Copies of this chain bind each other. A is one copy, B any other.
Amino acid sequence: MKTIEEFLESKNIRVTAMRLLIYKFLAEKQVAVTLSDIENAFEKADRTTLYRTIKTFEEKEIVHQIDDGTGITKYTLCEKGCNCEIETDLHLHFHCNNCNETICLTEHKIPQIKVPDGFVSENVNLVVKGICDKCSGQ
The chain A residues found within 8 Å of chain B, CB to CB, are: 67, 69, 71, 92, 94, 97, 105, 108, 111, 113-133, 136, 138
Contact = CB atoms under 8 A, between A and B. Distances in A.
Across the A-B interface, the 4 shortest Cβ-Cβ residue pairs? A118-B133, A122-B130, A120-B131, A123-B129
A123 B116 contact: no
B126 A125 contact: yes
Instruction: Give this chain's copy count.
Output: 2
Nearest to A67: B69
Indicate the member of A116, A126, A131, A132 with the most B CB atoms within 10 Å. Answer: A126
Contacts of A129: 121-125
Given A108-B114, A111-B111, A113-B92, A123 B119 contact: no
